[in-house]
Amino acid sequence: MHRLKEAKPSPSMIVAIIALVAALSGSAYAASKITGKDIKNNAITSPKVKNKTLKTKDFSNQARKQLQGPQGDTGPQGPVGPSTPATYTNPNWSVIDRNTEGSAVGTLAGGPYFGTAAADGPPLGVGALHIETASGSEKVAFGNQVDFAGDPVSGLSQMGYSYTQTGEDYDRYAGNLPNISLEINPSVANKDYTSMVYVPPAPATKPEQKWFTTDADADPGGGASGWYFTNGSVAAATLCGQAGGQHFCSLTEAENALVTNNDGGPAASILTLGVAKGKDYQYQGSVDALRVNDEVFNFEPFGVEVTTP
């Protein structure tokens, strides 16, 4: 019996096997073995590059500059800015915390405007003092606790302001309006403190949405508007109050009553001056152009400006 000789692969078979192994290795083999050194310079052309795959970082700094294009013309010079930083005007005006209760709001802001015409906006500037009380248990006062301190009450001759009232506020109560409120030392009935408040007249009918102006020094009192003192003893002595037998007074009448009923102390003097909304009804409205003698205080978003009538 003849034994078969062991078959040895031919050279051509060996080459074929190597080619098959390389083919089966696929891209992983190529990626790990082929480098930039294996590619001839200028061999890869545009058709061989996948569209939208190159990124800015793939280019040199010089190429990126060329892609940006030429420098454009210089634009015009802008206006010169203010020489000093913006500041809050007249910081002595602020919420009087001790006369503010609940979540009531007294803040300076733009508007309100009730139409497109300039006449539909605040009487002065672009802003106003915005006042909000959510119920009859809240109150707020916004005023100046510094600049009027110590001034005589008798020195007040002209007082007034502008305000807004919504139809909803009117429906709650026709006289649902902000007031002028001064804290004073009355020197009456041995009292050294009371508020001296001006209540404006209520509109006779539901008003349209607009700004109204009231002249507090020209109000004759005696009716549903005028000046009164909140302290019971001072109100009883001067008769400027809201209890039985008392009445709202004119500014002159209230000032004269303080002099007539002085208890031997110093002349009645101002502690603070401002505007307020007391504990009575919910209110959302605004105040502007508060007049005190020959000065008008313009409530603006970034402070309180002073002007003349």
Lowest mean pLDDT among 28-42, 106-120, 233-247: 28-42
Backbone angles phi, psi at 244, to 5 degrees: -60, 140
What does the alpha-carbon distance between residue 114 and residue 86 come to, in Å, rounded to a whole number? 28
Band of pLDDT at residue 210, cut at 50, 70 and 90: confident
Band of pLDDT at residue 300, cut at 50, 70 and 90: very high
Identify the pLDDT of residue 12.
58
Name the strand (E) or helix (H) holding 238: helix 232-238
C-alpha angle 141-144-149 in degrees, rounded to nearest 5: 120
Lowest mean pLDDT among 38-47, 117-126, 178-187: 38-47
Identify the pLDDT of residue 97.
95
Band of pLDDT at residue 2, cut at 50, 70 and 90: very low
User: What does the pLDDT look like over 118-162, one tens digit per residue?
Assistant: 568 999 999 999 999 999 999 999 999 999 999 999 999 999 999
Which residues are within 8 A (CB) of 217 and not within 5 positions of it... i.e. 6 or more apart? 156, 157, 158, 159, 160, 251, 252
The answer on pLDDT for 224 being more than 60 is yes
Band of pLDDT at residue 259, cut at 50, 70 and 90: very high
Lowest mean pLDDT among 7-16, 65-74, 90-99, 141-150: 7-16
Mean pLDDT of the chain: 87
- The beta strands (E) that lie in the chain are given as 93-95, 105-110, 127-133, 140-144, 159-164, 179-185, 194-199, 211-215, 226-229, 269-277, 283-292, 295-300, 303-307
What residues pair up with 211 in beta bridges, in sequence order?
A: 164
pTM of the model: 0.72
